[in-house]
């Protein structure tokens, strides 16, 4: 799980260009403006490539993908 | 008798609340009366669409039947196959009635809009959502009755807010506990009161009392000054913007309030949009259910496809292309006139500029100040950009120039 989270934080840093992105695993990434729609899609596509999962766009419920912890949980379920 | 536009006069609420009373009493005692809900829907639909010459009502029935055929045919197909082009075809089919209605003024042909009735756009958003989510397999089960109930949910039928099927089902299949329902009634009454203030007092002041006078003044400069520009036009811009917000936000509050009385948590449409700190922030606060619909079903999907297939490399190009597509579609959706299209392009350019600014700010984080004055300036600037766009949207320039 920690491995997944570390990878997610790396992806967030890459996509947003922010050094502190995802530092706090419970930070609301949408509310705090870390991720906009474009960045969200980039993160999703990268997650697909990195973990070999498929995220149907309409399954994508913001409230369930809003923090590093939640993303990690989703990835684990989809893996 | 004429068609009665929902929420258009204070009287409407008296009749509406009488009609809602059995539903409210039922929910208070933990019951939903399906048959009565259906009856209430029929009553509202009759008053809204079958007063006068029944043309709208017949269109509505045709429309519902048409969408049912489209959606249930696609769902039957989707059980076995999943071809992208077949999916695209069904999305187009679901939009066809709306396209006819929107093209109607352009073609000057009254016979073409067989489907013309108040609120067709909003029902089409819901129908398209169901086609798209059927493809993704998110909507597992859908009974014809559930589809009709979702589409014809009367508090939101004429102008939204645009709910989502799964969210709506969760509420409609559930009876709130007494505590939850008290909470819903409480928030419903609050929203109703705020809506009355917005629509019938503030909106009336700006829209009915001020706007017509300022319009006459603005148009009196036609041909008198270069492009007919005047300070009156500036005043028109602000007055129209205030009217647009208070009228529509007031209406939306009614729709959410009445939904709440029926135990349905219809999403809110506005969140203090004039406090937005930039144009992106604005679209997260203005007509939210529409902008989120566009975001989820057009922008994100388009971005997803482009990035996955690597059609373009630069993320800036991709994002900007997305904005232009999105806001052009939104412009065309509002209507086929030059000023709606220009309004769309204007907002696309504003989003692109905003993104460029945010990138610049990110690169020079240390040298660009950020404090409460810059914040106040950002809010002020956004407000004016937005009001300017509403001035385009209002069509006043069309009257002034052509």
Q: Which residue in A17, A41, A58 is closest to B133 by CB distance?
A: A58
Are B228 and B278 contained in the same domain? no
Q: How confident is the model at residue A58 (pLDDT cuts 50, 70, 90)?
A: low
* CA-wise closest residue to B183 among B23, B27, B289: B27
Distance (Å) from the alpha carbon of B402 to chain A's nearest alpha carbon: 39
* CA-wise closest residue to B90 among B115, B72, B113: B72
Q: Is A41 close to B303, i.e. CB distance below 8 A?
A: yes
What is the mean pLDDT of the segment spanning A42-66?
82
Are B31 and B111 contained in the same domain? yes
Domain boundary among B137, B168, B199: B168
- The answer as to whether B266 is a domain residue is no
Structurally, chain A folds into a number of domains equal to 1
Range with the largest mean pLDDT of A44-58, B40-54, B65-79, B132-146: B65-79
What pLDDT sits at residue B109? 57
Strand, helix or coil at B46?
helix
CA distance B227 to B84: 49
Contact A35, A43 (CB under 8 A): yes
- The answer as to whether B375 is a domain residue is yes
Q: Is the pLDDT of residue B359 over 80?
A: yes
Least trusted range by pLDDT, from B47-51, B278-282, B324-328? B47-51
Are B286 and B335 contained in the same domain? yes
- The answer as to whether B157 is a domain residue is yes
CA distance B393 to B365: 35
CA distance B124 to B151: 9
Are B77 and B144 contained in the same domain? yes
Enter the tokens of residue B40.
Answer: 């209430």
* CA-wise closest residue to A15 among A38, A32, A33: A38
Domain boundary among B140, B168, B196: B168
The secondary structure of residue A33, as a DSSP letter, is: T
* CA-wise closest residue to B270 among B253, B258, B257: B253
What is the mean pLDDT of the segment spanning B5-22?
91
Least trusted range by pLDDT, from A59-73, B28-42, B102-116? B102-116
Domain boundary among B223, B256, B289: B256
Are B186 and B223 contained in the same domain? yes
Q: Is the pLDDT of residue A78 over 90?
A: no
**Percentage above 70 pLDDT, chain A:** 96
Residues 6+ apart with CB under 8 A from B274: B245, B379, B383, B386
Distance (Å) from the alpha carbon of A5 to chain B's nearest alpha carbon: 23
Nearest C-alpha in A relative to B296 = A58
Tell me what the pLDDT averaged over chain B comes to: 92
What pLDDT sits at residue A24? 86
Residues 6+ apart with CB under 8 A from A14: A46
The CATH number covering residue A74 comes to 1.10.1200.10
Contact of B300 with chain A, judged by CB distance below 8 Å, is answered with yes
Are B15 and B162 contained in the same domain? yes
Q: What is the pLDDT of residues B187-240, one digit of tens each?
A: 999 999 999 999 999 999 999 999 999 999 999 999 889 999 999 999 999 999
What pLDDT sits at residue A2? 83
Disruptive mutation site among A19, A43, A57 for chain B (greatest number of B CBs within 10 Å)? A57
- The answer as to whether B2 is a domain residue is no
Q: Is the pLDDT of residue B362 over 90?
A: no
Q: Is B300 close to A40, i.e. CB distance below 8 A?
A: yes
Partners of B295 on chain A (C-beta within 8 Å) are 37
Q: What is the pLDDT of residues B43-79, one digit of tens each?
A: 999 998 888 778 889 999 999 999 999 999 999 999 9
Are B18 and B162 contained in the same domain? yes
Range with the largest mean pLDDT of A21-30, B78-87, B111-120, B313-322: B78-87
Q: What share of chain A is helix, strand, coil (3-state, %, to 5)?
A: 60, 0, 40
Q: Is the pLDDT of residue B264 over 70?
A: yes
- The answer as to whether B20 is a domain residue is yes
Are B193 and B163 contained in the same domain? no
- The answer as to whether B262 is a domain residue is no
What is the mean pLDDT of the segment spanning A38-58?
84
Are B134 and B198 contained in the same domain? no
* CA-wise closest residue to B354 among B262, B283, B292, B402: B283
**Percentage above 70 pLDDT, chain B:** 97
Q: Is the pLDDT of residue B361 over 90?
A: no
Q: What is the pLDDT of residues B377-388, one digit of tens each?
A: 999 999 999 999
CA distance B13 to B19: 10
What pLDDT sits at residue A38? 85
Q: What is the pLDDT of residues B96-131, one digit of tens each?
A: 999 888 887 777 655 545 667 888 999 999 999 999
What pLDDT sits at residue B111? 54
Contact of B319 with chain A, judged by CB distance below 8 Å, is answered with yes
Are B288 and B204 contained in the same domain? no
Residue ranges making up the domain that contains B164: 10-168
- The answer as to whether B300 is a domain residue is yes
Residue ranges making up the domain that contains A53: 2-78
The secondary structure of residue B267, as a DSSP letter, is: P
Q: What is the pLDDT of residues B252-263, one digit of tens each?
A: 999 999 999 999
Strand, helix or coil at B63?
helix
């Amino acid at each position: 799980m920690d491995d997944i989270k570390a990878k997610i934080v790396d992806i967030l840093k890459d996509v947003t260009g922010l050094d502190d992105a995802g530092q706090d695993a419970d930070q609301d990434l949408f509310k705090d403006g870390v991720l906009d729609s474009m960045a969200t899609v980039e993160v999703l596509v990268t997650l697909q490539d990195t973990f070999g999962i498929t995220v149907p766009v309409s399954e994508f419920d913001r409230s369930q993908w809003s923090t590093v912890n939640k993303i990690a949980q989703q990835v684990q379920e989809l893996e | 008798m004429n068609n009665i536009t929902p929420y258009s006069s204070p009287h409407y609420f008296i009749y509406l609340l009488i009609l809602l009373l059995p539903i409210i009493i039922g929910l208070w005692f933990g019951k939903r009366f399906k048959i009565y809900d259906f009856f209430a829907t029929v009553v509202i639909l009759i008053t809204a669409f079958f007063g006068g010459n029944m043309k709208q009502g017949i269109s509505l029935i045709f429309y519902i039947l048409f969408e049912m055929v489209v959606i249930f045919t696609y769902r039957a197909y989707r059980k076995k196959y999943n071809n992208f082009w077949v999916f695209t075809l069904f999305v187009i089919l679901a939009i066809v009635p709306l396209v006819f209605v929107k093209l109607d003024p352009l073609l000057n042909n009254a016979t073409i809009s067989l489907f013309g009735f108040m609120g067709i756009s909003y029902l089409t958003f819901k129908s398209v959502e169901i086609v798209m989510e059927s493809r993704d397999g998110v909507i597992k089960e859908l009974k014809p009755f559930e589809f009709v109930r979702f589409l014809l949910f009367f508090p939101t039928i004429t102008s939204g807010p645009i709910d989502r099927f799964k969210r709506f089902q969760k509420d409609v299949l559930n009876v709130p506990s007494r505590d939850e329902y008290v909470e819903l009634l409480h928030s419903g009454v609050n929203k109703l009161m705020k809506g009355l203030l917005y629509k019938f007092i503030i909106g009336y002041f700006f829209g009915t009392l001020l706007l017509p006078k300022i319009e006459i003044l603005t148009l009196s400069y036609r041909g008198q000054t270069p492009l007919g520009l005047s300070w009156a036009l500036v005043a028109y811009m602000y007055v129209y913007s205030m009217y647009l917000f208070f009228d529509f936000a007031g209406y939306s509050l009614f729709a959410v309030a009445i939904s709440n009385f029926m135990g349905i948590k219809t999403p809110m449409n506005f969140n203090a949009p004039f406090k937005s700190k930039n144009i992106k922030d604005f679209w997260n606060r203005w007509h939210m259910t529409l902008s989120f619909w566009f975001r989820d079903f057009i922008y994100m999907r388009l971005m997803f496809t482009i990035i996955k297939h690597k059609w373009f490399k630069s993320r800036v190009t991709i994002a900007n292309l997305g904005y232009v597509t999105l806001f052009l579609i939104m412009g065309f959706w509002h209507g086929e006139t030059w000023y709606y299209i220009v309004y769309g392009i204007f907002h696309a350019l504003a989003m692109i500029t905003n993104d460029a600014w945010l990138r610049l700010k990110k690169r020079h984080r240390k040298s660009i100040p950020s404090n409460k004055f810059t914040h106040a300036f950002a809010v002020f600037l956004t407000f004016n950009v937005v009001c300017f766009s509403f001035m385009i949207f209002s069509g006043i320039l069309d009257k002034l120039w052509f």
